[in-house]
Amino acid sequence: MSKRFLYQFYWDCGRSGSLEGLFVATEKEVEDAIGAYMYFGEVLGKHSEVYGDLEKGDITKLNVSPEAVEEVAKHLGTSWSGFNPLDYIETRCDSCREECDEEDLVQHYDEMVCKYCYEELTGEENEED
């Protein structure tokens, strides 16, 4: 099992407020999440619609030993307080940027595209359909 660490998440949302959280994850989970699109909904009030791409500076690894993190995680789980950004990652097509289910994405070269974009890019239907 990969070592898990404690991370702090902070997102400044301007005058609407900010999102903060403490969560547990592996380095790989955090690395894979960087650049991902996140959608939090109206968490800062009606019509707030908080969303965007996760950037490296939004997450800070805290200096807590992995052993201590595991001990506390037995009782608190992986989301210790506030928002865990890993819980809000949305799957999007790399071509049209529309949200879609992960199972509807198809590999096209180095991108993951929806079946509609795949047909448009290749002129053929996805054989998995």
Walk along the chain (129 residues) and give the pLDDT tens digit of each residue: 799 999 999 999 998 999 999 999 999 999 999 988 898 999 999 988 999 999 999 999 999 999 999 999 999 999 999 999 999 988 888 888 888 777 788 888 888 888 888 888 888 776 554
Contact between 60 and 39 (Cβ < 8 Å): no
**Chain-centre distance of CA 7, in angstroms?**
14
This prediction's pTM: 0.77
Residue in this structure with the two tokens 């949305």, named with its chain if needed: 90
